[in-house]
């Protein structure tokens, strides 16, 4: 599912990694474990983690701007929830197939829909029948239902995708309340009008939400924060000014640089990462327990073929898939060979008219990372009567397909070995066995291939994204095919799925620390992020080729909620600090005043954007030794002593003054300076490092990104 805009004024929803997701009714199995929340250290069985310390987010209201919600699902039940907070001023708005008096409860406490902006731009009423939608808060696409259940869904046992990922589904803050603001509609594949998004922000603020989860993002190029066409930066500014933390998706335009979206410094911008779960699927070559190899072997294949000949059993590989059920699929294995004078038949070139695929399993090689074209190719194999497909593609960008059709993904290396077999036997055969769920080692954590990357294209001095969270193959609720059921689940991927993970964590922190500002919560999350795998290994960023992850991939790292609950120090900010940023950007007083809704006069000397009190430091054009200032607030033990630790690549020098911070009952806030200089004498790319304050217990890490600029830059 992919959302597109038909007008530049529209805010485009960036949804899952484009892919066809098949959904089945829930089947019941023996309960095992869930993954993303346990993976993040928020198991419901632990009494000492943030989940239980915060009473599962009790009393916090999470608002979502999305595609709507399917309220009847079991994941939105209100069992064991207390009364709706008296401060709540929202409503449950009735509409098409949505009775407000029945749809809401003590879990889903509010639901609204906004479409006047879309209809005004479209020039005619929105036809819900033609677009398979509802003129109400009801969700028809599944996106809003999925994100809502991730952020604050209730416990539902025995949830799975047809047996895969079996466990108990729940949201990050199952004790929190939810409110849905439907702003996205299925016109031309899916659009959200700026006017509707901005109106939803205003209503959510007035309704009394504590957290706003916004899995939407605009296309590049981005509008400035004071441009009226940018509804998310404007609406989020008003929300943050009222003490509401706004969490937004970084976008799905990775792994290209400068594609990160939602870059305003008051927004908590979320990248997507994987979890330590995979779905290995056996591929067995051969027939009747023997691989039959012809006498005509190709140079370079002989060693591999000789190894096959010495075995009397089937040769096996592992692919990745979501091939469910109990039955295997066995058939002839084919590859679309063509003359060397013709272009190769890659996966994307397959057509439903290729009748040679009927009754066979097809091996193909993907030529490029174009998920939409690849999806079409897989469906073409099915339409042509094929029994399955093995897709060979780069190991840095493949995720299992969730469709009721055997579609396995393998690396180019494995695909090449399978092709050797096809070319070396007169009757190639293959058997595909059902997938299984694997959790833990050796599966590692990576920044997802599709996750948008920094630096920010409009404000490179502000590090984005801020943090990464699980966003690949996340199992959560979706609208059911059968409207009589109360449970349906699907795996979806995207920064849209990562965003509500962080929104749920923000709700837990807000419940534990109701007086913390959005900036303090954001700081706690960024400075405690994990920059290495839980087992001690490094975190990689998927790409061409994969590389070690850096701040432009995941900001402060992978979100670490239990450490965020005890950060030690925070870099706090308020509206005055954000006005400092707006003045530093050179916006005129009139535009800033319009955004802040009160008169603003910037100082005659333009302030430095490098001094915005963020928990990160980025210098995009270091020409001479530069001093940055920061202020930290102690939220840990009253009497504390922190020492500075600097880590940086050779050639970049970082000096911190003072090197020691001493807090007491009288001294809760301390400012310090950081001088950064470079020994490089040529223009270069970014170098990365960090400044960490530690008292021996707390580790408060700020990522630093520096690019040296000597003279005129020619790129």
**Residue range 489-530, pLDDT digits in tens:** 988 999 999 999 999 999 999 999 999 999 999 999 999 999
Contact, 464 vs 266, CB < 8 A?
no
Contact, 682 vs 545, CB < 8 A?
no
Residue 7 confidence class, pLDDT cut points 50, 70, 90: very low
Which H helix or E strand runs over 432? strand 429-432
pLDDT greater than 90 at residue 286: no
pLDDT greater than 50 at residue 674: yes
Residue 582: strand, helix, or coil: helix
Beta strand residue intervals within 239-345, DSSP E = 245-249, 268-273, 277-278, 280-285, 315-320, 329-334
66 part of the active site: yes
C-alpha pair distances (Å), 573 with each of 581, 583, 603, 670: 11, 15, 19, 14
Q: Tell me how far apart the alpha carbons of residues 625 and 655 are, in angstroms, rounded to a whole number.
A: 10
Q: What average pLDDT does range 462-475 have in this prediction?
A: 95
Q: CB within 8 A of 318, min separation 6: which ones? A: 280, 281, 282, 283
pLDDT value at position 533? 83
Burial 163-196 (b: 16+ CB within 10 A, else e): bbbbbbbbbbbbbbbbbbbbbbbbbebbbbbbbb
Strand order in the sheet with 24-25: 24-25, 488-492, 474-477
Residue 141: strand, helix, or coil: coil
Q: Tell me how far apart the alpha carbons of residues 53 and 563 are, in angstroms, rounded to a whole number.
A: 13
Please indicate whether residue 57 or residue 292 has the higher confidence score (pLDDT).
57
- 68-121 confidence digits (pLDDT tens): 999 999 999 999 999 999 999 999 999 999 999 999 999 999 999 999 999 998
Q: Tell me how far apart the alpha carbons of residues 582 and 600 are, in angstroms, rounded to a whole number.
A: 10
**Marked catalytic residue, from 143, 146, 238, 698:** 143
- Residue of 163, 242, 231, 228 lying closest to 199 (CA atoms): 231
**Marked catalytic residue, from 36, 54, 66, 572:** 66
170: Cα separation from own chain's centroid: 17
Q: Tell me how far apart the alpha carbons of residues 107 and 81 are, in angstroms, rounded to a whole number.
A: 7
**Marked catalytic residue, from 433, 452, 496, 523:** 496
691: Cα separation from own chain's centroid: 26
Q: Tell me how far apart the alpha carbons of residues 570 and 328 are, in angstroms, rounded to a whole number.
A: 55
pLDDT greater than 60 at residue 310: no
pLDDT greater than 90 at residue 453: yes
Q: Tell me how far apart the alpha carbons of residues 291 and 531 are, in angstroms, rounded to a whole number.
A: 45
- Residue of 320, 317, 342 lying closest to 421 (CA atoms): 317
Contact, 494 vs 16, CB < 8 A?
yes
Q: Which domains does the chain have, with CATH numbers?
A: 36-275+445-530+538-564 (3.40.50.200), 277-437 (3.50.30.30), 569-573+613-708 (2.60.40.2310)
pLDDT greater than 90 at residue 477: yes
143 part of the active site: yes
Q: CB within 8 A of 486, min separation 6: which ones? A: 72, 73, 74, 480
């Amino acid at each position: 599912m992919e959302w597109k805009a038909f007008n530049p004024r529209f805010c485009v929803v960036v949804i899952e990694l484009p892919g066809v997701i098949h959904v089945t009714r829930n089947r019941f199995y023996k309960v095992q474990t869930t993954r993303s929340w346990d993976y993040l250290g928020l198991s419901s069985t632990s009494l000492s983690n943030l989940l239980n310390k915060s009473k599962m987010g009790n009393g916090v209201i999470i608002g979502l701007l999305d595609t709507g919600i399917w309220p009847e699902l079991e994941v939105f039940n209100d069992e064991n929830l207390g009364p709706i907070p008296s401060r709540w001023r929202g409503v449950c708005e009735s509409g098409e197939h949505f009775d407000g008096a029945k749809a809401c409860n003590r879990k889903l406490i509010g639901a609204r829909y906004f479409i006047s902006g879309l209809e005004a731009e479209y020039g005619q009423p929105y036809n819900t029948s033609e677009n398979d939608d509802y003129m109400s808060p009801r969700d028809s696409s599944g996106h809003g239902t999925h994100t809502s259940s991730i952020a604050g869904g209730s416990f539902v046992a025995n949830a799975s995708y047809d047996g895969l990922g079996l466990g108990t589904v729940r949201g990050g803050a199952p004790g929190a309340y939810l409110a849905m603001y439907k702003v996205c509609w299925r016109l031309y594949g899916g659009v959200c009008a700026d006017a509707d998004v901005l109106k939803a922000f205003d209503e959510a603020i007035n309704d009394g939400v504590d957290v706003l989860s916004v899995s939407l993002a605009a296309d590049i190029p981005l509008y400035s924060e004071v441009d009226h066409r940018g509804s998310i930066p404007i609406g989020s500014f008003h929300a943050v000014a009222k003490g509401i933390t706004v969490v937004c998706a970084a976008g799905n335009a990775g792994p290209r640089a400068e594609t990160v979206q939602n870059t305003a410094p008051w927004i908590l911008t979320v990248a997507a990462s994987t979890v330590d779960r995979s779905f290995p699927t056996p591929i067995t070559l051969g027939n009747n327990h023997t691989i039959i190899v012809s006498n005509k072997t190709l140079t370079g294949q002989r060693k591999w073929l000789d190894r096959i000949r010495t075995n009397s059993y089937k040769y096996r590989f592992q692919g990745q898939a979501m091939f469910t059920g109990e039955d295997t699929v066995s058939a002839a294995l084919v590859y679309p060979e063509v003359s060397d004078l013709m272009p190769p038949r890659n996966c994307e070139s397959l057509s439903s008219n290729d009748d040679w695929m009927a009754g066979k399993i097809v091996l193909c090689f993907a030529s490029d990372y174009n998920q939409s074209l690849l999806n079409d190719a897989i469906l073409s194999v099915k339409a042509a009567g094929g029994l399955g497909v093995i897709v060979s593609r780069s190991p840095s960008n493949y995720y299992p397909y969730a469709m009721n059709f055997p579609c396995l993904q393998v690396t180019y290396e494995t695909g090449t070995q399978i092709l050797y077999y096809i070319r070396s036997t007169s009757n190639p055969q293959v058997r595909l066995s059902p997938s299984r769920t694997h959790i833990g080692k050796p599966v590692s954590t990576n920044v997802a291939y599709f996750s948008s990357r920094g630096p920010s294209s409009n404000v490179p001095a502000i590090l984005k994204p801020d943090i990464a969270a699980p966003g690949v193959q996340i199992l959560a609720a979706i609208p059911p095919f059968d409207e009589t059921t109360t449970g349906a689940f699907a795996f979806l991927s995207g920064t849209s799925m990562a965003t509500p993970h962080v929104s749920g964590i923000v709700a837990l922190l807000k419940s534990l620390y109701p007086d913390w500002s959005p900036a303090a919560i954001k700081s706690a999350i960024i400075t405690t992020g994990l920059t290495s795998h839980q087992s001690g290994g490094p975190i990689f960023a998927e790409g061409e080729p994969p590389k070690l992850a850096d701040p432009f991939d995941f900001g402060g790292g992978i979100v670490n909620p239990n450490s965020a609950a005890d950060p030690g120090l925070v870099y706090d900010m308020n509206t005055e600090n954000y006005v400092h940023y707006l003045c530093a950007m050179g916006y005129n007083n009139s535009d800033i005043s319009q955004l802040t809704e009160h008169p603003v006069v910037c100082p005659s000397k333009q302030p430095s954007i490098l001094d915005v009190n963020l928990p990160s430091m980025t210098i995009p054009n270091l020409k001479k030794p530069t001093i940055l200032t920061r202020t930290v607030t102690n939220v840990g033990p009253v009497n504390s002593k922190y020492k500075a630790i600097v880590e940086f690549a050779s050639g970049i020098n970082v000096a911190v003054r003072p090197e020691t911070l001493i807090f007491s009952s009288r001294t809760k806030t301390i400012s310090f300076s950081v001088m950064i200089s470079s020994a490089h004498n040529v223009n270069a790319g970014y170098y990365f490092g960090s400044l960490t304050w530690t008292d021996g217990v707390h580790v408060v890490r700020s990522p630093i990104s520096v690019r040296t600029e000597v003279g005129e830059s020619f790129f």
